[in-house]
Chain A
Amino acid sequence: MPRCRSLASEVERLQAALAGALAGLAGRDQTPQSCRGPLSVGLDVLEVGEVALSLAAQPERYARRVYTDAELCECRSSCGTLDPFALAQRFAAKEATLKAFRVLDECIPWHSISVRCDNLGKPSLELTGAAAALADLRGFGELEVSLIRVGGLAASVVVARSQTC
């Protein structure tokens, strides 16, 4: 059963990566202790192959409906092709954000959650429209995102801290 062993190994590595990311994110929280409300955590895991298939089937429509221009720009290689790994990480981050925000059936367009990486590759979330409004409604002042890549899986952890003052 080499495929099962491989999958189990990937899951173990993913669990370790997620645990490490969560600890790192909690450690970077700048909110003063006295203003810290509860943490809300969302995580999502996606097979990169799913994104690769979507890109192969209908690249432009898929990309334009889900990702912002800025995200597509960051996910293009020097030859102009879209990197399915990078896109899968961003899709996982959007889903992890929805989970951290405890979205049930609210309408949150994918474009209202954008993942940006700085020059050092550190990711952050840019919220606009419905996603920004929901963050305000839930009282989330601090957001941290981590992008993870393990084998054929892309994952993301989002930590949202509500502020009490």
Chain B
Amino acid sequence: MLSVERSDEIRRVIDAHARLAVNATTLTDETDLFGAGMTSHASVNVMLALEAAFDVEFPDRMLKRSVFASIQAIAAAIEELQAVDAPV
């Protein structure tokens, strides 16, 4: 289950950068963002905006389609990156 705060922030980024024809509030957490119209180039902008919003950096190993395929997948990736960066 995604936190509402994280999910809302991801949706805000998607609305601003994914160039979808629909509002991100109409998407489920599992909706395929590429299927909804996000282009590869738009996914770059989404990635950069997510990095700024969540203060993370996506490493090369995460630069693949499945990481940005849905709100749920993005949230999982951000959670993993923040866990790595969190103080022990």
Contacts and interface: CB of A to CB of B under 8 A. Distances in A.
Interface string A26-67: 000000000000000000101000110110011001100110
A105 B65 contact: yes
Interface residues of A, number: 22
A81 B63 CA distance: 27
Interface in B64-85: 64-66
A9 to B, nearest CB: 22
B56 interface: no
B77 to A, nearest CB: 12
Interface string B40-61: 1110110110000000000011
Interface size class of B (residues with CB under 8 A): 10 to 19
Interface of B: 19, 39-42, 44-45, 47-48, 60-66
Interface of A: 44, 46, 50-51, 53-54, 57-58, 61-62, 65-66, 91, 95, 104-110, 130
22 contacts: A46-B41, A50-B19, A50-B39, A50-B41, A50-B42, A53-B45, A54-B41, A54-B45, A54-B48, A61-B48, A62-B45, A65-B44, A65-B47, A65-B48, A66-B44, A91-B41, A105-B64, A107-B60, A107-B62, A107-B63, A109-B60, A130-B60
